[in-house]
Every structure is written in structure tokens, then in C-alpha cells.
Amino acid sequence: MKKLINKPEDVVREALAGMAAVHADLINVDIEQQIIVRRDAPIKNKVGVISGGGSGHEPMHGGYVGYGMLDAACPGAVFTSPVPDQMLAATRAVNGGAGVLHIVKNYTGDVMNFEMAAELAAAEDIEVVSVVTNDDVAVQDSLYTAGRRGVGVTVLLEKIVGALAETGAPLAQVAELARQVNNQGRSMGMALTSCTVPAAGKPTFELGEDEMEIGIGIHGEPGRRRAKLATAAEITETLTNPIVDDLRLKAGEQVLAMVNGMGGTPLIELYIVFNELERILKGKSISITRSLVGNYITSLEMAGCSITLVRLNDEFVKYWDAPVHTPALRWGR
């Protein structure tokens, strides 16, 4: 194992300390409770928006805490759900009196712990609504889920919903928009290599030199199948067609498209995938009118990519284009 770490057990704590030092103008980091909170939280009469999950997927979620996106994030140990106490602390920290939205990726541990945190918050008279993301079309059930996994749509949803929350919209409206974005988004990923969890010290799985995993999960969970390495054009088609089919996208529709790196794939290759994606969708008369290319929801140093498409409407576009200022995503402000 070759990693820029000190001790495996200190990785998350030391990374949080680094984030706090770099982004002190945007976030406050409570290293003991392991929560990242927007610097100006709580904001009176604004719905608080929080999310969380295992570390190792950076910049998700801590990199999205700030104006126009999340009010707080709860990072667990690497690839391990945060605990209810963290989620409750984050919920308290962002409660400005208008309630709190929990955005939860569909992994059994995340769902269970966020449910417990919501119950504890309710006992303190904090209104909480939870929305679960489940956009991965690759597999129905996986190692960590019942049903589809929550992956790339989570990032796009956090941006769109966070912008609505900035307007002072009520909790019910913010939660409903979150459900709509989740319903209109689908993702699928692939891996060229495995990744190594620091505490494990060895790769999560083995892939041959000429192999790739299609439909990989963000923790290295198995996908649809293992296949021989193919060209970028072939891989992009393999990922895109199931998404288009599942969303029932039709000619003339517009999408927000994200080509996401899994952590170890250079940007030059992600641009090649995006070029292929645009070609494929253009051939179906589907327009990409908003896009994002880069590392936004990763799996440590795994090489590979995922594609996420969200069917757009005027409301989604309005809140996607709205200003955002976080450590990892910022424009218009």
C-alpha cells in the first residue's frame, strides 16, 4: 500500500483538519464530532440541508458545504456510514427554525443511521424530512443496499436543492424538489482498477490487466459484469444506453450530464468520455445543455468513471444555474 498518510486510523481526522485549514472562510470543522458546517450556520428561517456518508468519496460531501448547497456534512470512517450522533449534531448545528432536510444515499447503514438521527431530532422538536437517492441503474441489490444504490445524482441534487433552500422556501417544497431530481436522474459507473481502503491495506478486489468492472459501486461493490477492456467509445455506450432506457429519454429532451472520475482517472480521459457521451446523445436527438466533468464522487484512487444524466426542466435549470460557493463547487458569486 502506497498512500500519503500517517496512520490509517488517523486519516479522516487529519484530512478534516486539513480541510479546516484550507477553507476556514467557508466552513467550520468540529474534528471531535466529525462534522463540517457552513460558517454562517444556522441561518434563521432557512431550511438546513445536510448529507453524509463514508469518507473516501471526496469531494462528496464535505466539499459541498457552503452557500447554495449543503449546510453541513457528516463524514464517517472510510467507506463506513457516519453514526447517528454525528448526524444529530449536524442537524442541530444547521437548524434555523425552518426544519432540516436529510439527503441520504441508499446504503443500508446510511439509511438506518439517518433514520435514528431524525427520530432523535424530532424528540428535540426539530422537524426533519429525509430524501433517499437511488439513481444507480447497474444493479437492483448490492452488498450495502436493498434496492438501487445512491450515487452521482446525489451531488447534482444537493446543488439544485441547496439553491432552492437559499430562497427561504419551506421544508416541504425543498424536499419535494429533492424527490423530483432523484426521480429524473440515473447513473452508472465502471472501474479499470480497484482501490485500497487504508485500514485494509490491500485492494478491495482484483482486476486483471485486461479486465474492467461494469456497473461498479462507489465502495468497490461488484457491478453487472466483468468484461475485457474496451475503447472509450464502447465503454461510454455501455454506460449511457441503460441510463437513457431507464429514464425513457426521448428525442428533443434536454439533460444535465456529469462525467465523474472515480479518483484515479486523469481529466484528459474524462473529456474523451464526455465527447463520446455527447456523440451518443446527439445521435438520439437529446441535448446536453448543462454539464460537469471531473472528480465529484470518488472511490479513493480507483481508476474509472461514472455517467449521470438528469432530465432537465426550467425549475431544475434555474436552481442549477444559481450561485454556489463551496470548497469544491463554485460559480456566480
Give the whole-angstrom CA distance, residue 229 versus residue 241: 18
Give the whole-angstrom CA distance, residue 273 versus residue 268: 9
The secondary structure of the chain, three-state, reads CCCCCCCHHHHHHHHHHHHHHHCCCCEEEECCCCEEEECCCCCCCCCEEEEEEEECCCCCCHHHECECCECEEEEEEECCCCCHHHHHHHHHHHCCCCCEEEEEECCHHHHHHHHHHHHHHHHCCCCEEEEEECCECCCCCECCECCCCCCCHHHHHHHHHHHHHHCCCCHHHHHHHHHHHHHCEEEEEEECCCCECCCCCCECCCCCCCEEEECCCCCCCCCCEEEECCCHHHHHHHHHHHHHHHHCCCCCCEEEEEEEECCCCCHHHHHHHHHHHHHHHHHCCCEEEEEEEECCCCCCCCCEEEEEEEECCHHHHHHHHCCEECCCCEECC
Catalytic positions, written as ranges: 57, 219
For residue 227, the tally of other CB atoms under 10 A from its CB is 16
Angle between the N-to-C axes of helices 84-94 and 108-123, in degrees from 0 to 180, rounded to the nearest 10: 50
Give the whole-angstrom CA distance, residue 205 versus residue 222: 9
Give the whole-angstrom CA distance, residue 116 versus residue 59: 25
